[in-house]
Amino acid sequence: MLSSSLMLRRFCCLCTAASSSSSPAPASSRTLPSTKKRLVFLGSPQVSAFVLDSLFNASSAPDSLFEIAAIVTQPPSGRDRGRKLMPSPVAQHAVERGFPSELIFTPAKAGEESFLSSFKVLEPELCITAAYGNILPTKFLKLPSMDLSAILQVQSTYTLVCFLCIVGQLLFRGLCRKGLQQDGVRETGVSLAYTVRQLDAGPVIACEKVEIDDYIKATELLELLFARGSQLLIRELPSIFDGSAKAKAVAQDESKATLAPKITPEESWLSFDQDARILHNKVRAFAGWPGTRAKVSVLDPKSGQHNIIELKIITTRVYGNNEIRSGQMDDIFFAKGSLIVPCGGGTALEVLEVQLPGKKVVNATAFWNGLRGQKLRKL
């Protein structure tokens, strides 16, 4: 590991030794012809590893035009309950594929002088970022060895960024995760674009539309978009390397840009006064993080006592039967494997999976059986 993390270096060495006998080394770990383009990948979360894996596979092909010269990712961070320092999913995947640990950079910020000095020596010809997690400063984008035409981004309604950047959205009408599903949008896509200093603003090389159904969650959609973005990237790499992509790239129309407000944990609470479809879309949009929560009252009919509990709402759908009597509007009842929650406008939400604090996700049947005859009411 260069400069940034001794812990990750030790981890990488151990993983490399353990996996060398079972995992084939990528093309970048062997001696390659000097004519191959030097590509650097920037990414951090698990979905970024999907893109990296596609690049590994493409670089190992006999007719490959490029080699992976280095990987830049976030430093190790505390994960899981023990908050143990762990390398990013991209770093972990790279060493599992046999990528040299000394070529994995983990700067806290991409503008660190020590990192820039080491990075400059690599003389990369193309950089690709996919959810790297750091804003790339101007001094990084203007490294003497780099041409801005070699900085690309593939974009979706979720932002992956590259010098070539993969972004999960159709950039001409950029939608955020909140708008995508909370508002019930039925179409999104991925775009391949050159990176400029302004966020998600570079000329678009290619894009692909993706239709969305009423049930896909944000986490599932993000994986789908990164997978499609990887395919789009591999398909367009030859034109990027020979320069023809610059001629066909189309500037974005800034007048069609849409605001993508940041999601906050405070927005995770559900209000059952709203229409059930709005709540269902919110559950889908907020899946993973921050999730959606609701407080309900548990009433013991024998003792008359009641407790307020917090539920994390995992999976829902809109209830198709609208025959909810006015006297039931505060009661949560159970029908055909679902908790039925009356909502605004005479609608109702089917809750299929829930999670109590500190517990595992369970289906509605298991949760209802655990109440042992107690009743549920909305607050």
Instruction: Supply the CATH number for residue 308's domain.
Output: 3.40.50.12230
183-194: average pLDDT: 77
Claim to verify: residue 177 and residue 296 sit in the same structural domain: no
- Give 157's pLDDT tier (boundaries 50, 70, 90): very low
Confirm whether 23 is domain-assigned: no
Radius of gyration of the chain (CA): 24
Claim to verify: residue 57 and residue 190 sit in the same structural domain: yes
Percent of the chain's residues with pLDDT above 90: 46
Confirm whether 96 is domain-assigned: yes
Claim to verify: residue 87 and residue 224 sit in the same structural domain: yes
Claim to verify: residue 89 and residue 215 sit in the same structural domain: yes
Claim to verify: residue 249 and residue 314 sit in the same structural domain: no
86-113: average pLDDT: 95
122-143 pLDDT per residue, tens? 888 888 888 888 888 888 877 6
Q: Which domain holds residue 308?
A: 265-378
pTM above 0.85, yes or no: no
* Peptide bond connecting 290 to the previous residue in cis, omega within 30 degrees of 0: yes
Residue keyed to tokens 């490294």: 143
Q: Which of the given ranges, 27-31, 39-43, 133-137, 186-190, has the highest pLDDT on average?
A: 39-43
325-346: average pLDDT: 86
pLDDT at residue 321 is higher than 80:
no
The distance of Cα 185 from the centroid of its chain, to the nearest Å, equals 18
pLDDT at residue 29 is higher than 80:
no
Claim to verify: residue 198 and residue 334 sit in the same structural domain: no
Claim to verify: residue 43 and residue 148 sit in the same structural domain: yes
Q: Which of 207, 230, 260 is the C-terminal boundary of a domain?
A: 260
3-9: average pLDDT: 37
Count of domains for the chain: 2
- Give 297's pLDDT tier (boundaries 50, 70, 90): very high
Residue 328's pLDDT is: 66
For 56, 63, 252, 312, the CA distances from 316, given in Å and listed in that order, are 38, 47, 37, 11
Residue 65's pLDDT is: 94
Q: Which of 260, 283, 317 is the C-terminal boundary of a domain?
A: 260
Report the candidate in 300, 280, 307 with the shortest Cα–Cα distance to residue 292. Answer: 280
pLDDT at residue 272 is higher than 90:
yes
pLDDT at residue 258 is higher than 70:
no
CATH number for the domain harbouring residue 55: 3.40.50.170
Residue 176's pLDDT is: 43
Residue 21's pLDDT is: 35
Residue 184's pLDDT is: 64
Confirm whether 92 is domain-assigned: yes
- Give 159's pLDDT tier (boundaries 50, 70, 90): very low
- Stretch among 3-7, 68-72, 157-161, 299-303 having the lowest mean pLDDT: 157-161
For 10, 294, 347, the CA distances from 272, given in Å and listed in that order, are 51, 9, 10
Residue 123's pLDDT is: 86
Residue 364's pLDDT is: 98
- Give 82's pLDDT tier (boundaries 50, 70, 90): low
Residue 212's pLDDT is: 83
Residue 169's pLDDT is: 54
Residue 131's pLDDT is: 85
Residue 139's pLDDT is: 80
Token duo for residue 342:
């009356």
Claim to verify: residue 49 and residue 98 sit in the same structural domain: yes
Residue 108's pLDDT is: 93
Confirm whether 312 is domain-assigned: yes
Q: Are 163 and 153 in contact (CB under 8 A)?
A: yes
Residue 273's pLDDT is: 94
203 compared with 95, residue with greater pLDDT: 95
Residue 269's pLDDT is: 97
- Stretch among 16-20, 58-62, 196-200, 270-274 having the lowest mean pLDDT: 16-20
Q: Are 140 and 42 in contact (CB under 8 A)?
A: no
- Give 325's pLDDT tier (boundaries 50, 70, 90): low
Q: Are 250 and 203 in contact (CB under 8 A)?
A: yes
Residue 218's pLDDT is: 86
Conformation bin of residue 177: beta by default, left when phi > 0, alpha when psi is -120 to 50: alpha
Residue 16's pLDDT is: 32
Claim to verify: residue 180 and residue 313 sit in the same structural domain: no
Residue 305's pLDDT is: 93
Claim to verify: residue 249 and residue 352 sit in the same structural domain: no
Residue 33's pLDDT is: 45
* Arithmetic mean of pLDDT over the chain: 80
- Cα distance between the two ends of the chain: 53
263 compared with 143, residue with greater pLDDT: 263
- Give 196's pLDDT tier (boundaries 50, 70, 90): low
Helix/strand/coil (H/E/C) assignment for every residue in the chain: CECCCHHHHHHHHHHHHHHCCCCCCCHHHCCCCCCCEEEEEEECCHHHHHHHHHHHHHHCCCCCCEEEEEEECCCCEEECCCCEEECCHHHHHHHHCCCCHHHEECCCCCCCHHHHHHHHHHCCCEEEEECCCCCCCHHHHCCCCCCHHHEEEEEECECCCCCEEEEECCHHHCCCHHHHHHCCCCEEEEEEEECCCCCCCCCEEEEEEEECCCCCCHHHHHHHHHHHHHHHHHHHHHHHHHCHHHHHCECCCHHHCCCCCCCCHHHHECCCCCEHHHHHHHHHHCCCCCCEEEEEEEECCCCCCEEEEEEEEEEEEECCCCCCCHHHCCEEEEECCEEEEECECCCEEEEEEEECCCCCCEEHHHHHHHCCCCEEEEC
Task: Give dist(CA 28, CA 19) in Å, integer.
Answer: 16
25 compared with 108, residue with greater pLDDT: 108
